[in-house]
Amino acid sequence: MSDGLEVDVRAVASVGARMVRSAQVLRQQAIDAGRLEFGGVQAGRDYCALGDELRNALAVVSVALDEWATDTEAVGHNFRAGATRYAGTEGAFADGLDRVLP
């Protein structure tokens, strides 16, 4: 059993990058969902209320996808920044050890 913590910096950075790319896809889906035009007029006289409900639901989906994209992007950036900070700290610690050892 290890007494220390090991972090695979490349893996953490890779996860962060994938999350940022996923956020871009989610954001595009939000835009696409927002462009969908449907409502009471398109549904027809007998289904006008249901058509309006569908239009409102599509607006909710668009907003939810955009919020999901924003949160996913933020987490991805945090993963990448954390990996960068960890690598810098690890490197600084190693440099410090090199100065101590004969």
Look at the chain and report how many structural domains it folds into: 1
pLDDT in tens, 20-67: 999 999 999 999 999 998 899 899 989 999 999 999 999 999 999 999
Which residue type, as a one-letter code, is found at position 62?
S
pLDDT at 17: 98
Please indicate, yes or no, if residue 94 is contained in any of the structural domains: yes
Please indicate, yes or no, if residue 87 is contained in any of the structural domains: yes
Instruction: Find the Cα–Cα–Cα–Cα dihedral 81, 86, 92, 98, rounded to 10°.
Output: -150
pTM to 2 decimals?
0.75
Residues 28 and 98: beta-carbon distance below 8 Å: no
pLDDT at 96: 61
CA distance 40 to 42: 6
pLDDT at 91 over 80: no
Please indicate, yes or no, if residue 1 is contained in any of the structural domains: no
Expressed as residue numbers, the domain containing 52 is 9-100
Residues 40 and 52: beta-carbon distance below 8 Å: yes
Q: State the pLDDT confidence band at 98, using cuts at 50, 70 and 90.
A: low
pLDDT in tens, 72-83: 999 999 999 999
